[in-house]
Amino acid sequence: MLALVPIYLLLQRLSLLNHGGLLLAYSSGALVFSIWNMKGYFDTLPTELVDAALIDGASPTQAFLRVMLPLARPVLAVTAMFGFMSGWNEFIVAQTILNRSELFTAPVGLVGMQVDRSVPWGYFAAGSLIVSVPVMLFFLLVQRSLVSGLAAGGVKG
């Protein structure tokens, strides 16, 4: 949030106060977390597995794709889940960067339903449910990668 004013001014100078600017702001923020999270996980994986693959004749790219990447399925799933949820549920950056009501994201649009001192609670509850459905579906898709990645080991039986 401390960088919101400089981000806004930069996007304003580049004429990106729309979905393109929002995508750029979300991507740059999520990229930092993703790299930090995945680097920490890859540091915990045993390098002996890559060494064994290299000795068996695999190239470095093949060793990464066939040995390390399958073991990294849990961190890939968690990183994708956090990245999606942070962008989908974010409110303040979207409200600041998007300058036209037809461009508003779902959370900003839900808050916009408040008129003076009244809130149409039925519509608000229905909208909140609709906003939460993609997050639940994404979690159900990623859940298999979490469980199978945690159960996988360095040796297949």
Question: What is the DSSP code (8-state) at residue 118?
Answer: B
Collect all residues with Cβ–Cβ distance below 8 Å to 127 and sequence separation of at least 6. 106, 109, 110, 113
| Domains of the chain with CATH codes | 4-46+74-151 (1.10.3720.10)
Q: Tell me what pLDDT residue 106 has.
A: 87
Q: Tell me what pLDDT residue 60 has.
A: 94
Q: What is the pTM of this model?
A: 0.73
Q: Phi and psi dihedrals of 153, rounded to 5?
A: -125, -170
* Residue pointed to by tokens 């469980």: 147
The burial of 94, by beta-carbon neighbours within 10 Å (0-12 exposed, 13-18 middle, 19 or more buried), is given as buried
Low-confidence ranges of the chain (pLDDT < 50): 153-157
